[in-house]
Structure 1
Amino acid sequence: MTVNIGSRTIGAGHPTYVIAEIGLNHNGDVEIAKHLIDVAARAGADAVKFQKRTPEIATPPHMRDTIRETPWGTMTYLEYRHRVEFGRDEYVEIGDYATMAGLDWFASPWDVPSVQFLEDLNVVAHKVASASLTDTEMLTALRETGKPIILSTGMSTLEQIDRAVDLLGTDNLVILHATSTYPMEPNEANLRVIPTLQARFPSVPVGYSGHERGLQISLAAVTLGAVAVERHITLDRTMWGSDHSASLEPSGLEHLVRDIRVIEEALGDGVKKVFPGELAPMAKLRRVPA
């Protein structure tokens, strides 16, 4: 019940795989993307993730002509999507930068041409965004790559998840529990779905993709057995863009990785034992020997 991505192994008994989701928080700027890669590497994350769209395909028709105010002026939603989308040259640059920083990198494709785009760049894995869980055409294209697939399950029912897993297969699959509210309030976290998914798909590693403020919920997910944790990251939560407010700033990501590693150590192996550090207190305090 493990999946290998790059040089890392994801599954029970292995370090939690921490994905720093850059997404579109680079705001179409390669230098911001590089700064965010640096943030992820310094914090000790395992991977950085982006999003890749073909705007004419991935933008819902009813949204294309919607007017949006942006830092680059007033434009349609479709024009905005083009403005923040990286092309091949930018992805080669940031992908090489992430690799040199010791990080895995991949992206969430939002349409079939984007799958091929990422395959041409030889990504180590593919991520299915929650919004794409019901896109059977794209899921089929992803399955045919033979690459590891990470499936987010926000805005989805168990029956929809079943259909996606049936299509993708359980080999080389990681499932992430998620709630697609930005930012997410604690009463929508529903972390007990993690063991529900573990029981429903016993041969698939299960993790957590969070959109909450703070760290507590992500850390609780690890104590419930999440073997991967994905969080959006930003240089500054006040930056313009829809995902920044639900993202971790650099110090937040550092604290998240630090605390996950402490929790991993503290969880132990489940075997009750007397530790060496208890021997002196036992000799001092226990009046009746066993």
Structure 2
Amino acid sequence: MAEWVKIGEEIVGRRRPTYVIGEIGINHNGDVSVAKELIDVAAQAGAQAVKFQKRTPHLSTPEDVRHTIRQTPWGEMTYLDYRYRVEFEREQYAEIAGHAESSGVDWFASPWDVPSVEFLEDLDVSCHKVASASVTDLEMLAALRGTHKPVILSTGMSTLEEIDRAVEVLGTEQLVIMHATSTYPLPPEEANLRVISILQERYGVPVGYSGHETGLEISVAAVALGAVAVERHITLDREMWGSDQAASLEPQPFIDLVQDIRTVEKALGDGVKRVMPGEHQPMARLRRHTDPVSAAS
């Protein structure tokens, strides 16, 4: 088990700056220029990383929905064709990697199948992210462990028993677990933030929070409750086409979120009760000093 995990140049764990991930996912809609703009948003906000999704569509798309017709900005097409339409290939990811490096943020992705793990390894990502939908894909989890890279495991729509099995396959040496609820957008009553401490106690690894709510309060509260990482979907405009846009943060709210997280980090302090510097002046002015012996007599 590891109390801290190194991802790229960052140390993720207790008493470290909260590791903030801007989840781009597929909100780029297959457009590299949009992906670059979102990387710029993450960099401006002060996030340490951005995350994408990588699929091999003919493997990761369920058979029963492959031929479903979907209305898209590019016309009517099957769901499988749509999945290919928004997928980046190596040349595009190389361009994205270069832009992320020049912007000062790390990048990685959630692979959705074993070939995608190999694809991302070829690009030498710093870590891998397991999407909540893949918690039970033990073949892919074994492939991820074989990379010897840090793994961030989201736990939405999963039981503790399913997480136990995933952790057993992945190991705990380089593991970060993210509490998550896979409801889009997330209502407050389903956030269940007290699970953060349960995961910390059960697995003894750094635990963060991956949020799908529309506001900022729940993510900030997660940090106050001990989350060492926060991941939020980001978008240029929530009115853009795409299934994740409505549960994403636009640039200014994401910037505000990171600022709020940094404020909470300062406010948490070190837990040692003492008189703070700003208290000395009001203490001298307001506190009465009474001799307890004289008061008793």
1:221 is matched with which residue? 222
Question: Helix, strand or coil for the counterpart of 2:252?
Answer: helix
TM norm structure 2: 0.96
1:140 is matched with which residue? 142
Q: Which runs of structure 1 show a deviation greater than 4 angstroms over 4 or more consecutive aligned residues?
A: none
Q: Do structure 1's residue 206 and structure 2's residue 223 form an aligned pair?
A: no
**Per-residue CA distance 1:255-288 (angstroms, 9 max, x = gap):** 0100000000000011100011111101111113
Question: Helix, strand or coil for the counterpart of 1:145?
Answer: coil
1:248 is matched with which residue? 249
Measure how far apart 1:217 and its partner are.
Answer: 0.3
Question: Helix, strand or coil for the counterpart of 2:34?
Answer: helix
Opposite residue 88 of structure 1, the aligned amino acid is: R
Measure how far apart 1:289 and its partner are.
Answer: 5.0
Q: Do structure 1's residue 262 and structure 2's residue 232 form an aligned pair?
A: no
Question: Helix, strand or coil for the counterpart of 1:165?
Answer: helix
TM alignment of 1:14-29, pairs within 5 A: 14-29=16-31
- Matched residues in 1 for 2:11 and 2:117: separation? 23
2:169 is matched with which residue? 167
Question: Helix, strand or coil for the counterpart of 2:146?
Answer: helix
- RMSD of aligned Cα (Å): 0.7
- Matched residues in 2 for 1:179 and 1:81: separation? 24
Opposite residue 238 of structure 1, the aligned amino acid is: E
2:45 is matched with which residue? 43
- Among all aligned residue pairs of Structure 1 and Structure 2, give the percentage whose two residues are the same amino acid: 70
2:196 is matched with which residue? 194
Q: Do structure 1's residue 89 and structure 2's residue 91 form an aligned pair?
A: yes
Show structure 2 runs of 5+ residues with no match: 292-297
2:295 is matched with which residue? none
- Matched residues in 2 for 1:111 and 1:87: separation? 15
1:181 is matched with which residue? 183
- Matched residues in 1 for 2:84 and 2:278: separation? 60
TM alignment of 1:118-137, pairs within 5 A: 118-137=120-139
Measure how far apart 1:18 and its partner are.
Answer: 0.1
Measure how far apart 1:254 and its partner are.
Answer: 0.3
1:2 is matched with which residue? 4
Q: Of the two, which has the highest radius of gyration? A: 2
Show structure 1 runs of 5+ residues with no match: none
Opposite residue 69 of structure 2, the aligned amino acid is: I
* Segment drifting more, 9-18 vs 94-103: 94-103
- Matched residues in 1 for 2:290 and 2:212: separation? 51
**Per-residue CA distance 1:223-251 (angstroms, 9 max, x = gap):** 00000000000000010000000000000
1:271 is matched with which residue? 272
1:30 is matched with which residue? 32
- Matched residues in 2 for 1:284 and 1:42: separation? 43
Question: Helix, strand or coil for the counterpart of 2:142?
Answer: helix
Question: Helix, strand or coil for the counterpart of 1:69?
Answer: strand
Opposite residue 271 of structure 1, the aligned amino acid is: V
- Matched residues in 1 for 2:290 and 2:139: separation? 67
1:151 is matched with which residue? 153
**Per-residue CA distance 1:70-91 (angstroms, 9 max, x = gap):** 0000000000000000000000
